[in-house]
Structure 1
């Protein structure tokens, strides 16, 4: 990999295609980054910062030009498990104090930031020691159970949004799902998620519907990310026990993130006939996650859907994903006030469509022809993901498959 190779990889077909595709991706990233933030239990700003920082770094030094990275469902679901574990590790007195002083979310966020940094270190080590190929050796039944359980967990994470809502919420969610499903069949020039946001928001405003919006759930900060040190806030201290709580989740996020990233790299290799560098992508993902942790973002990885959108729209160079990252943060800074008015129903609808597209429907047909041992692994990983957490599920699947 030479300087000339890097120069040639910066622009794909032409500058115009890369910039226009980057614009489309930037707009499409906003609703997903916000929705995945809510799943992880953090402010939408955290997910938006992740999309900017991780997207920027992987655009510049990633192993495959045109790949798009940011907050993802796979990582967000693992962070849900981390949040539960953090609360379980607290003393009743500390938990009561944090709840009473409204510091619980800030406390858990410190663990999420630390988790991003630790996951990044693991990913860099995997890349440096050229272990990227081993990541792809996760057994197929485990992968099926992983994505199916992930889809179910993301769907269940939307249920609380319907609490106290009327019929309007259900109708708006349905309208969103119909737009996201049918619009791409007629045109891929505009992101279906963006069209759904504009259309449904217009309905809410015109008919003055009483429904929750993003601003009701969290404050959207219209500013650039700033440097933060995890655990550097009053009454919260970094200890070895804190590190041990985070470690298993950091390892799983590192592995899950690289699995998703390297699978996406393989898909894009087939699309353009060029071979990406898996180990370089591991290092880029790790570097991005470390920087995310120090600038208020959660861990993330490559987004297969947005990467394919980028490639389909002609974004084949680093300039395309770089444009997407830069435009995203500019949109957040300039339009944060408007983002607050987005109905929660739109995000729920988009996430339900993410679930439908994430679920490996082929596994339902294949399970009839699988050996009983593979069937058991698939079902076990799915069930453990739903009722426990993704970290335990993936580890269990790999161990059972090896027996």
Structure 2
């Protein structure tokens, strides 16, 4: 049954046919578009633009870049993802998940190589979408996703302690223990004004988040306050305090000299294949993490609007955005859950809302850039602290006892490796651990049950599950204990055989022939029958030794009355 839209949601166009290899969702969304839907999209887009303003700058600063890098990314990538994407409500832009990776790339390879790595990740994402690999991202286990998401949240929070406390640090290292050591040595430079301002902003954001929904249930007018996020309120009030009270805290103006009131020109970094070789792993990490983040966000949006997105089209749009944006001063971009949810709750109906969100940020850059000089970095740190807290799935740690040991080991190992070592290493180890766990689980579901027979010269076994490389030991055990006269295998409940399983069955057939034991195979059908014919098992055993069920196979294995019961000659 097709997904039905939620009550009150507009009826959307069906998913485009597969014949269109590149068909942005905006094409279908604009069919039947009218003035009322446009008005709702404009309101939603402006609201999301206001929400994205502080987050875009905060993510850029935390990544070791200038604040305008986040704004340019939200404008350019946000526009491209909205126009070319496979979801009608997803909002693209810089995300907190990229902070640790981008900061590490800038520290190790420099800003020019970040441009190259981001563009390389865009090419990889476009290729994944072009070759229909969008659905494969969903096969990454949830334990791996939660592990590195929580790890990234911890690293974001730790990286913001410097700005939160106003510490004087010249160069902040990228590794976890290096950050802790540097913060420890910088504690004497604590700025009480910055710490008090950051704490006040964090408390205001938390109170705003908790109090406004309760006020809405009691007072009808309070619902309008939900359109203004607590991060924007905290940022405006903190900026006014710094400007009016002349607080001695570091601001965007004092560190970066402000934000330019124009979009940047095209910049082309020096490129060499030797450099690209070293950037392949960071670029792959950016591509995979961006793809996972974007498609998870799109799935959340699907559940809210009752429509299924096109994952391959979304990946191609993300790839184009990440290829274009870095050459105009941007950073890696992906789908963002918080801004997408805000977009939906604000009444968005089509990608036009994402376009309006980008245009809103563009107007802010063109008209209000000088006002950003007084934004305190302590307030930005408080916003990111709150983002890190909301980003993590902390309840999973509390409920770990409810899950199996392999799930716990995978989640915790990915989490600790993300925090202590590197996100790339964590994801690689997590995927390997998840694969090994999956192989073990599937192999444990494959079993062989002996059938009790009165004739000691005949053995019969029923096989269940999948006969793959992790379960071939079952056949090897049968080969080691062959009967005197006949071996009957019931494969009716065997749903899959891989090449390793087929080779093991061939070895068993050869062993039976060498030992003069008759091999009878029952119940072969579908994929097991197909692989048995292609690998030569049917030819080796003989069509006459194949039977539709176990009963007929056992009848064929029974000796004739008065016949010879000795092994076949």
Residue of structure 2 in register with 1:226 after alignment: 265
In structure 1, how many angstroms separate the alpha carbons of the residues matched to 2:123 and 2:36?
34
C-alpha distance in 1, partners of 2:353/2:33?
Answer: 9
The structure-2 alpha-carbon separation of the partners of 1:113 and 1:302, relative to structure 1 and needing over 3 Å to count, comes to same
Q: Name the counterpart of 1:58.
A: 81
Distance in 2, Cα, partners of 1:9 & 1:304 = 27
Name the counterpart of 1:310: 343
Moved more, 76-85 or 126-135: 76-85
Q: Residue 470 of structure 2 aligns with which residue?
A: none
Would you tell me which structure has more strand in proportion to its own residues? 2
Aligned twin of 2:253: 215
In the aligned structure 1, how far is the partner of 2:395 from the partner of 2:250? 36
Shift of 1:204: 2.3
CA-to-aligned-CA distance 1:59-95 (integer Å, 9 cap, x gap): 1111111211111111222112223432xxxxxxxxx
1:130 maps to which residue? 132
- Higher mean alpha-carbon deviation, 5-14 vs 186-195, is at 5-14
Q: Distance in 1 between matches of 2:38 and 2:126?
A: 31
- Report if the CA contact (8 A) 2:198-2:382 is conserved: yes
Give me the whole-angstrom Cα distance separating, in 1, the residues matched to 2:266 and 2:360: 20
Partners of 1:323 and 1:150 lie apart in 2 by: 30
Query: Counterparts in 2 of 1:29-48, with a 5 A limit?
Result: 29-48=52-71
Relative contact order higher in (CA < 8 Å, ≥ 6 apart)? 1
Q: Match for residue 149 of structure 2?
A: 147
The answer to whether structure 1 residue 201 and structure 2 residue 225 are counterparts is no
Kindly provide the CA deviation profile for residues 290-336 of structure 1, in whole angstroms up to 9, marking residues without a partner as x: 01122221111011100100110112211111001011022112211
Instruction: Report if the CA contact (8 A) 1:72-1:301 is conserved.
Output: yes
Alpha-carbon contact 2:76-2:358 (below 8 Å) kept = yes
| Uncovered stretches (5+) of structure 2, i.e. residues with no partner | 1-15, 17-22, 168-188, 213-224, 437-569
Three-state SS of the structure 2 residue aligned to 1:249 is: helix
What do the CA deviations read for 1:179-206 (whole angstroms, capped 9, x no partner)? 2222244131212221111111222233
Change (3 A) 1:119 1:286: same
- Residue 391 (1) aligns with residue 424 (2): yes
CA RMSD of superposed structures (Å): 1.8
Q: Is the 8 A contact 1:11 1:18 kept in 2?
A: no
Aligned partner of 1:272 in structure 2 is: 305
Asked if 1:191 corresponds to 2:229, the answer is: yes
Stretches of structure 1 that go unaligned for 5 or more consecutive residues are: 87-107, 232-237
TM-score (norm 1): 0.89
8 Å Cα contact 1:222/1:333 also seen in 2: yes
Change (3 A) 1:9 1:22: farther
Distance 1:386 1:11, change over 3 A: farther
Aligned to 1:368: 401
Greater alpha carbon shift after TM alignment, 213-222 vs 119-128: 213-222
2:110 aligned with 1:77: no
- Whether the 8 Å contact between 2:134 and 2:312 is mirrored in structure 1 is yes
Task: Kindly report structure 1 stretches of 4+ aligned residues shifted beyond 6 Å.
Answer: 9-13
> What TM-score, normalized to structure 2?
0.64
Decide whether aligned partners of structure 1 residues 307 and 159 sit closer, same or farther in structure 2, where only a CA change above 3 A counts. same
Shift of 1:363: 0.9
Residues 385 and 392 of structure 1 are in contact (CA less than 8 Å); yes or no, is this contact kept in structure 2?
Answer: yes
8 A Cα contact 2:83 2:355, kept in partner: yes
Q: Over alpha carbons, which structure has the higher Rg?
A: 2
